[in-house]
Structure 1
Amino acid sequence: MDGYAELSPDEAQALMKSEDVYVIDIRDDNSFSTAHISDAVQLDQTSIGPFLESTEKDTALVIYCYHGISSHSAASFFVEQGFSRVNHIVGGFEAWQQHGLPVDTS
C-alpha cells in the first residue's frame, strides 16, 4: 500500500466526521465544479506547491479521484513529501456517489 491507507467511502466519511482532515479532490476543474465531496479542496499542479508548504505533515489527508486509480499515485506522492496520515478512497468519487454519500454541487 506504499504507506497510505485504503478506505471505503463509508470509512472515509467516518474519518471525516471524527476528526479534522483535508479532503483532496484531484479531478479536473469541470468535474469538481459539477459535484464534489463537501469541504473538499481541489489540488492541481498550480495549487499543490502552496498546499505542501502550508500544511503540517501530520495532518490527515483523504484523497480521491474519479474511480480510485489516480488517487493511488497522488497518495504515494503525499507520503513521499513526508505526510504520515494519508488515505485514499477506494473507487473514488464514483464509489462515494454509489454509496449515496453527500456531495456539494455548488
Structure 2
Amino acid sequence: MRQRTPFRRIGVEEAVAIVGTGKALLLDVRDANSYAAGHVEGARNMAFGNLGDIIGTTPKAQPVVIYCYHGNASQEYAQALSDFGFSDVTSVDGGYEAWFNHAQAQKPAAALDPALSAWIASRGFPPDGLNATAENGMTPLMKACAEGLGETVAALIAAGAALDIRNADGNTALWIACVGDHLDIIDALVDAGIAIDSANDNGATALMYAASAGKAGVVERLLARGADPRPETLDGFSALDLASTIECLTLLRRATKEVKVATPA
C-alpha cells in the first residue's frame, strides 16, 4: 500500500507564494454566501458535496491550497484530499481572514480624516488601522456598530472599511449591529453591500440570531432588506425554527410562505 503524504499547515505568505506560481489549485471551502461576498482571486468554492469533482478532475501531483474562515475546516478538507492520494496539499492557518488582512497590509495606506483616525486610536487600534483587528477579532467598524455610532459607521464605510471581515466568533459587523438593535446601522451596512446572509462557523446568520433572541424589530428590518429565511444552521435549524417569540414567529412564517410562493417547485 502506498504511504499517504500528510497535508501541511502553512502561513499566508507561503500560500501566496505557492499560488503565485500559477500551478496550484486554490480552494475556498467557506459557505457560498461568504464566497460570493469576497474571496481570494482565482479561488474555487468547494464543499464536501462536490469533493468528488475535485478528486476526479485534478492531477494527484498538482499543488492544492485550501482556506476556510479561520483555518480549522480547511484541515478536514486537506486531510480528505491527502487520503485520496494527493501529494501536495496545504491548509492555510488563519483562513480567509488572515489572507484578507495580509492583502490589506500590502496596500498603501490612504490618509484618513484626522477625526476618524483619532476615534480609531481611542478604541485601541493603530490610528491608520481602518481594518485592524483587536481582541476577539473586532475591527473599528465592529466597535462602532457595537456602540451604536451611526455617523462613525458611515465615516468608516466611506473611508473604505471592509464590510465582511468576521470576528473570532465568525460574525460580521451586521450581526453586531443586530445585537444592539441598531436599525439605522443595519440599513447603512446593507446599503454599503454587506452580505446579509453571511453565516458564521455554526452556519448561523444574523436573521437566525435575531429570531432566537426575540428581536422582532431586527427580524422585520432584515427581512425587509432581503434576508433569506431559508438557510439552516449546521444542526439543521432555520430562523423560523429558532424563533423565540410569537412576533418573530409570525414574521418568519409570512416571509417563508412568500419565498415559497415566489419560488416555483
- Is the pair's TM-score, using the shorter chain for normalization, greater than 0.5? yes
Give the structure 1 partner of residue 50 of structure 2: 47
CA distance in 2, matches of 1:46, 1:69: 18
CA distance in 2, matches of 1:21, 1:53: 16
Give the structure 2 partner of residue 89 of structure 1: 92
Give the structure 2 partner of residue 13 of structure 1: 16
Query: Which segments of structure 1 move beyond 6 Å, counting only runs of 4 or more?
Result: none
- Alignment pair present for 1:32 and 2:41: no
CA distance in 2, matches of 1:62, 1:20: 10
The alpha-carbon deviation at position 64 of structure 1 amounts to: 0.5
Higher strand share: 1
CA distance in 1, matches of 2:49, 2:79: 19
Q: How many residues align?
A: 101
Secondary structure of the structure 1 residue equivalent to 2:35: helix
The alpha-carbon deviation at position 17 of structure 1 amounts to: 1.1
| TM-score normalised per structure 2 | 0.36
The alpha-carbon deviation at position 50 of structure 1 amounts to: 1.7
Deviations 1:7-51 (A, max 9, x none): 111110011112410000100000000001110001123322122
Q: More displaced, 60-69 or 40-49?
A: 40-49
Give the structure 2 partner of residue 72 of structure 1: 75
Q: Which amino acid aligns with 1:80?
A: D
Instruction: Give me the CA root mean square deviation.
Output: 1.6
Give the structure 1 partner of residue 6 of structure 2: 3
Which ranges of structure 2 fall in alignment gaps of 5 or more residues? Answer: 107-265
Bigger RCO of structures 1 and 2 (CA < 8 A, at least 6 apart): 1
**Percent of counterpart pairs with the same letter?**
32
Give the structure 1 partner of residue 25 of structure 2: 22
Which ranges of structure 1 fall in alignment gaps of 5 or more residues? Answer: none
